[in-house]
Structure 1
């Protein structure tokens, strides 16, 4: 019976993999796009050097970005890769509908995946223990394409819960994986100062480097803005949009002030642990974990002020 079950699962996997020819997508993601990103990074660094903005801190920060990528890949592929794909395949047997794999369904699930990314991204910014991993991506005081590869320890884990409903709805699980990758690829290309503002209709509908620069800003007016993946319309719809007007100050409100990759990779959880340890009382400790970044207990009103 186990042999028969395994054979059925392998037939299912082969059928869906061939549906989308994932080997071609994997080549695009793992090889060609990464080569393009490295070439574009070289162009950016030369541009900074010509403008006399390239320094050892930026160089060290760029190296740190790729070291955190190596850490992230190690954790994701060793501990979570099989679980992620397996969860999608397992969940597909409970799908409400059997949605065929067509170009129409592909475009629909791409839009839905982008909406799921918006809410995933927004929640990562608003719950402290999720921000502990995502803050790694925001900790660089610079903004170039290498920053797109700056990842935290659990960045590869949380997207599963936001995109799994698409599989349960009935979309091909491997098609869902592909559109997730496409959203991430699009995001990667947004991490640059080379591209200014684009044609207004594009800026109104699509996420652009200008919009994403705002998202990486620690300026007060830019905090918690522009969570979009591909379409900036989600931010416009849900009230989290901000236009790039003043110069962006990149990084965290409280900078890490280090290019050490271990500091960059683990600083979020280290800060969270310190906050939780120092919080008096169990309720306040839970607030530090599940509250938004910077959460502090409300001060009780004094007798005089209560009158």
Structure 2
């Protein structure tokens, strides 16, 4: 399966635009310094930010054990309310639990520990070198850098067929719920940028802002995967609709992200070939890869799902599936994220649909 020329050109064009988006917060920060005669790197930090101690403790606890506990509680509520519709089989349940636990208890602590051991060796003079950056500017710079990078990481795993199988696990479940936020192949997780970025920023002196970005982003992405349609009132109640209009274009919501997990795009609601945004849906608006319908798909997953063994989905290509014809089996076909139609695969072009 080859990448068509139109998609390749769009990726190149959007990549160049992304460079400008990456540097925009930095340019704006130094422009504001110039306008106000502000030189924080000289020790004249007139606008320091420090949250009250109890708020800081809340964020630290959320980052360590608090957020997983919240996700587990909400997951129990979803399950008790029947929101998984009896589709949470033993294989699916095992996969979701392993994907939830291993990154938090093994991968991220491992990267953090050895990262903070490695950085002083290769960059001995860089420790806390950026601690002069004002909190809100640091927050904006990190939020853009982190989420835009993840947008591209996510998008390329859909648009480059040879990468799809590393992301396929995230889309295989025929349901939506809190557990979906962390349901990923281990290779996809290992190369995920956020863990490395947070470690590096902490070493450079921006750990406080990085912590806030991490926690807020976790809330948004977890909420976007939830089977609880918390965004529905913003579309149905007239006095909330102006807020909803901004909200659905700024961040990922259940309506926009559920569309990305639909198993078809034929109903005008599902759109697995777009809506790639994680924390910010704004990237999909800018790059024309988004669709907004304010509706929720009726079915999820991938049409060509073989219900592969949890270990194959979690650790492909280290472990292969025994299911014949599966993408994850030995010498399995590479079909990409599109739905196979006999022997051909049709790629839907990127479009942008917005509601008034």
Task: Verify the 8 A CA contact 2:146 2:197 in the aligned structure 1.
Answer: no
The answer on 1:102 being equivalent to 2:151 is no
136 and 145 in structure 1: CA distance in 2 versus 1, 3 angstrom threshold: same
The size of the alignment, in residue pairs, is 262
The answer on 1:138 being equivalent to 2:201 is no
The answer on 1:215 being equivalent to 2:253 is no
For 1:230, the equivalent position in structure 2 comes to 279
The answer on 1:68 being equivalent to 2:113 is no
Q: Deviations over 1:189-245 (max 9, x none)?
A: 221221243322211222111111112122135122111122211101001101244
215 and 148 in structure 1: CA distance in 2 versus 1, 3 angstrom threshold: same
How far apart in 2 are the matches of 1:101 and 1:268?
A: 42
Higher helix proportion, which one?
Answer: 1
For 2:29, the equivalent position in structure 1 comes to none
Task: Verify the 8 A CA contact 1:138 1:251 in the aligned structure 2.
Answer: yes
Q: CA RMSD in A?
A: 4.1
136 and 93 in structure 1: CA distance in 2 versus 1, 3 angstrom threshold: farther
Structure 1, 240-249 or 72-81: larger mean CA deviation: 72-81
The answer on 1:123 being equivalent to 2:168 is no
TM-score by length of 2: 0.59
How far apart in 2 are the matches of 1:192 and 1:135?
A: 19
- Listed as ranges, the matches of 1:1-307 within 5 Å are 25-48=59-82, 54-55=85-86, 57-58=87-88, 60=90, 61-73=92-104, 76-77=107-108, 80-85=111-116, 90=122, 98=130, 100-108=132-140, 109-160=142-193, 172=205, 174-175=207-208, 177-178=210-211, 179-180=213-214, 182-195=216-229, 196-197=231-232, 198=234, 199-220=244-265, 222-244=271-293, 245=295, 247-258=297-308, 260-266=309-315, 270=320, 277=331
How far apart in 2 are the matches of 1:86 and 1:202?
A: 40
176 and 87 in structure 1: CA distance in 2 versus 1, 3 angstrom threshold: farther
How far apart in 2 are the matches of 1:139 and 1:104?
A: 38
Task: Verify the 8 A CA contact 1:184 1:229 in the aligned structure 2.
Answer: no
